[in-house]
Amino acid sequence: MDARLQCDLAEESHRFGSPAGREKTPSDSDLQRADGCGRVILSGSEKGVRIVDVFQRSPIRVMFPRVGGAIEEAVVVNTAGGIAGGDRLKFAVTALANASIAVTSQAAEKVYRSLNEPARIATRLQACEAARLAWLPQETIVFNWGRLSRETEVELSSGAELLALECLVLGRAAHGEEMVGGHITDSWRVKKDGRLIWADSFRVTDEVFPHVHRKALLSNCKAVATLIYFGPHLYQRIEYLRDIAASLECRCAVTSVAGLVIVRFAAKASYDLRLALRNFLQLFSHELKPGPFGVPKIWLC
């Protein structure tokens, strides 16, 4: 090849890059991404629960199914049918004084395979004095090679009562799917009267998935859940909850930290976990006063 032509080609490559250099690795950020948001503020009175404020941005929708005119339950709907890498969903619930409400989801959330970025879910719960708040969404199913970063922050005031639950299912059992890679970070932060009383993080990465079957990790359990309770007569109720835990058809343990009850669940299948959670809520709600802490009606649909 002529030396002059070689110099011209080299200069052209330097200015514009080689064809290989111009190729860009596909990224979740290059795709259209969902950025949904929902916010609900409720108060209570002698006439029942009153909606103070509702904000929603697609694909998040908030529904208030009513029986006899009373507001007892709020249902969060993701109209996109799931989330993938780079999607962001935010939801906040504030229960003001004397409000009593259960918040759940229309269906299990699905986290699809991602290219390189996690799907992000941020939940903010606030229970003010004399409020009773139950956060009881259905499970989150992470598909193989899915990436999820979930943060749940809770603000409690003295005199409030709260029951909050988050579930994770690894893979689609009906498809025989096994998670061999992906990334999951699931974090909790709980504050009482502005002071942090409990922080917890569950993290599984690509290199860890081949080992999660070990007894020191998940021991072949594909479905796990964390439930927290804050309220009166705490220490008397711990023993009652331990009796319930021993009767369930899954692995379950109860402990307390800084005035907070923490319950862990683990099962080999999502169906077993859901059944255990339903039984747990049914039994525990009998111990509590009538209110929002039973099995959400939509779970039974």
Single pTM value for the model: 0.89
Q: Peptide bond preceding 19: is omega within 30 degrees of 0, i.e. cis?
A: no
pLDDT in tens, the chain (301 residues): 444 444 443 444 444 344 444 456 777 777 778 999 999 999 998 888 999 999 999 999 999 998 667 899 999 999 999 999 999 999 999 999 999 999 999 999 999 999 889 999 999 999 999 999 999 999 999 999 999 999 999 999 999 999 999 999 999 887 888 899 999 999 999 999 999 999 999 999 999 999 998 998 999 999 999 999 999 998 889 999 999 999 999 999 999 999 999 999 999 999 999 999 999 999 999 998 888 999 999 998 7
Residue 91 in contact with residue 60, Cβ under 8 Å? yes
Q: What tokens were used for 187?
A: 């974090």
